[in-house]
Chain A
Amino acid sequence: MNETLLARYAECLFWLARYVERVENLARILDVNETFSRDSRGDQNWRSVVQLFADQERFSRRYDTIDADTVLDFYVRDVTNHTSIVSAMRAARENARTLRPMISTEMWTQLNVFYNRLSGLTADELAPGRRARLFGEIKEACQTHAGITEGTLYQDQGWHFYQMGRFLERADQTTRLLDMKYHLLLPKPSDVSSYLDVSQWNALLRSVAGYHAYRRVHPRGISPARVAGFLLLDKRFPRSVHLCIRQVEVLLSELKARYALRGGQGAAEELDGLRGLLDSLGIARILAEGLHEFLDSVQLRLITVSGDLSASFFGQ
């Protein structure tokens, strides 16, 4: 009897993990864009964030200009924007509230305090000199959540759904982070990059805390193709799409085997197909066929996986 899990709880665990992961990655994306925008190309760089999330229409309805202030307000503090950091954290907290019978008081308290902190954010804290510190604080709070979860969440079925949500979201967010800079790879992937490009890819790697890991795999030089290949295909980097997909695959098969759950077949097939692609396609071929298109197709597959999990296990 204790082995059963309420379908709604499974769904809430899955989304709790997704929302916190989303908050962390959004902070990373905004943080890295802050670094990129130092090349003084006007508002273009902040526009790319809005384009990345296909939010142009919603954004222009609310703001007249696209600059650091408006974009950061929209994606950090704006409670009417359901994809802002504060909104995503609110959704995470609401899921956690529903899940309180299952999660530790420590998990709940940290999320509650963090949400209260974010909902009380002032515009001052997004001022140029203070942004980086705020993003650091947000990333750290998300990592604290991950740590408390690791240390306190009972590892039954629910844990599997939590972990699947986390890795699916992370895979998705890594593709988005890459997508933001795909245009830099458009000319010719094999070209020697300019100094500017190198510094931007460098910053991208650092934004996912991947610089040192990358260095271990590629001790010499930074090439855009290698960075893209690392973030997509590396089997050991915790934020690479390949590793995340592999994790979800393992979690799903464990879940089905240990708890005798039927369903999830569509998700398993989709994951298997996606991993097959990541295993067989090299980065050169992905770039030749178009990185943006490839990232799009990965995102669509991830949506299919999520939809099948929902239909199979969440009673939707």
Chain B
Amino acid sequence: MRLVLQTYSPGAFYCEMLSSRAAGPIRDRLSALTIEALEQRAAAAEAELYNLGITFTVYSEKDAIDRILPFDVLPRVISAEEWRHIEAGVTQRITAINRLLHDIYHEQHILKDGVLPADLILGNANYRPAMQGIDLPYGCYVHICGTDLVRDEHGTFRVLEDNARTPSGVSYVIENRRLMLRAFPDLLDGIALREVDDYGLHLAAAMQEIAPAGMDNPSVVLLSPGTYNSAFFEHVFLAREMGVPLVEGRDLEVRDDRVWMRTTGGLAAVDVIYRRISDEFLDPECFRADSMLGVPGLMRAYRMGNVTLANAVGTGVADDKAVYAYMPRIIRYYLQQEPILANVETHICREPEALAFTLDHLADLVVKPVGESGGYGITIGPRASRQELEECRAKLLADPANYISQPCVRLSVSPTLVDGQIVPRHVDLRPFAITGKRTWVLPGGLTRVALREGSLIVNSSQGGGSKDTWVLE
């Protein structure tokens, strides 16, 4: 009989389970379980995910394969105090990002005052001149934000990345909790957790709030690329939770600068669109002409203020990895506050001293291309072969402005069930925040876990899984 945690050792890393005093009672309960019992319950939970079709689709040349996001049954615990800190920090950050976007798409004070280099913004691939001068309800651009946090070896939370475009993963937060409630009712018994089930209600309320002025009973839809999109399950989930139609571009049309959807009874007006399609595919008249996913004329209706898009167009300029480096200064500039959540120290390779430093310390740094997401194109110095480092050096020299570098954060670990053993695996945390009139942060967020031994990359496309995140009352 092997007990959970009996032989577990986190090594030199900060451990989310062992280092947390608040996790004590949960630790005690887990310690009384055998690994075999844990495995049985994990297998049952996995079968349930498959039956429920909580899957993302992986396309190969021949087939479409439905895979479940690997789910680890050992929860990640966050104390009430830690959560207050994260919540305040995330809210502060989103407030600053919204102020930044409003400024960029209006007077551009921050550029004129020299706090941000103008070419970093105006030359950015995600800067949308079409947004210039448009006034949005509550000046809000980023209605749904996912802020990626990591925890270093001292247990300090740091922001790794802001996801201000169409962040995904929130459906797993809620489904993971539902799954845990069914699979481990005994583990949760008598432990007060913050709820996650009301995300859909908060989202629906915010979507109503941001409708164009004068709409009494605004009609909200969720715009998806369709069933073949890998995140389609999440789109379904959110539409269900909000109780709104899940539409595709072909269901919508623009007439007289208004957006309409095709119903059995003819055209019906649409006031708010939570879109899960990226900017460039939204409107073939304005962006990519070959987009089959979008709605011709949508930007016209948007510019006239006849429809609200969530998130707004052009938010990608704010979650750019290069702009990220300036975020502490952006917070100070707009809010006259010190950042509550620190950044990871970042070297902007477009700056000569930073490039020189990066080239000198390549083997110790993580080098990231600024435009990519999903963990692609990253070189982790301490893990890279000599050849990989040389390739990285060549790329940096060829196009320094495309890269940033950061010290290698020793990410915290969490005990994880892998092949019948409880082993330490690195985790991050993506809290989700909704902003209408004000910002609300879903307690907890998505804990992603790098399932491969030693791996720091938690993305689902690169072998990552997820855990339920328990914020204690």
Q: Which residues of A contact B (CB under 8 A)?
A: 1, 4-10, 94, 97-98, 100-101, 105, 108-109, 112-113, 116, 157, 161, 259-262, 313-315
Contact = CB atoms under 8 A, between A and B. Distances in A.
A7 B240 contact: no
Contacts of A100: 236, 240, 246
A219 B264 CA distance: 46
B245 A6 contact: yes
B341 to A, nearest CB: 35
13 contacts: A4-B268, A6-B245, A6-B262, A94-B227, A100-B236, A100-B246, A105-B52, A109-B51, A109-B52, A112-B51, A113-B51, A116-B51, A157-B264
Given A5-B264, A259-B265, A109 B217 contact: no
* Among B236, B248, B265: residue with most chain A CB under 10 A: B265
A298 to B, nearest CB: 26
Nearest to B55: A112
B263 interface: yes
Given A8-B251, A112-B52, A98 B227 contact: yes
B17 interface: no
A266 to B, nearest CB: 16
Determine the main DSSP class of B at the interface with A. Answer: mixed
Interface in B214-251: 217, 219, 227, 232, 236, 239-240, 244-248, 250-251
Given A97-B53, A109-B51, A313 B264 contact: yes
B267 to A, nearest CB: 10
Contacts of B261: 4, 6
A5 B53 contact: no
Nearest to A108: B53
Interface of B: 50-53, 217, 219, 227, 232, 236, 239-240, 244-248, 250-251, 261-266, 268
A243 B144 CA distance: 51
A101 B52 contact: no
A259 B266 CA distance: 12
Contacts of A5: 263-265
Nearest to B236: A100
Contacts of B227: 94, 97-98
Contacts of B239: 101
A25 to B, nearest CB: 26
Nearest to A259: B265
Contacts of A112: 51-53
Contacts of A98: 227
Given A100-B236, A109-B53, 16 more contacts: A1-B219, A6-B245, A6-B261, A7-B262, A7-B263, A7-B264, A8-B250, A8-B262, A9-B245, A10-B264, A101-B246, A105-B52, A109-B51, A109-B52, A161-B264, A260-B265
Contacts of B52: 105, 108-109, 112
Determine the main DSSP class of A at the interface with B. Answer: helix
Nearest to A3: B265
B265 A315 contact: no
A157 B268 CA distance: 15
Contacts of A101: 236, 239-240, 244-246
A261 to B, nearest CB: 5
Nearest to A98: B227
Contact of A315 (B244, B247, B248, B262): B262
Contacts of B262: 6-8, 315
* Among A10, A98, A100, A157: residue with most chain B CB under 10 A: A100
Contacts of B247: 6
Contacts of A94: 227
A110 to B, nearest CB: 9
Contacts of A1: 217, 219, 268
Contacts of A6: 245, 247, 251, 261-264
Nearest to B269: A1
Nearest to A8: B251
B269 to A, nearest CB: 9
B263 to A, nearest CB: 4
A116 B264 CA distance: 32
B246 A261 contact: no
Nearest to A101: B239
* 9 smallest beta-carbon distances between A and B, as pairs: A101-B239, A100-B236, A4-B263, A313-B264, A112-B53, A101-B246, A4-B268, A7-B262, A10-B264
Nearest to B51: A113
Nearest to A115: B53
Given A94-B227, A100-B240, A157-B264, A7 B51 contact: no
A8 B227 CA distance: 13
A113 B268 CA distance: 35
Nearest to A95: B227
Contacts of B268: 1, 4
Contacts of A260: 265
A222 B262 CA distance: 52
Contacts of A109: 51-53
A86 to B, nearest CB: 15
* Among B217, B232, B266: residue with most chain A CB under 10 A: B266
A4 B245 CA distance: 10
Nearest to A112: B53
Nearest to A264: B264
Contacts of B53: 97, 108-109, 112
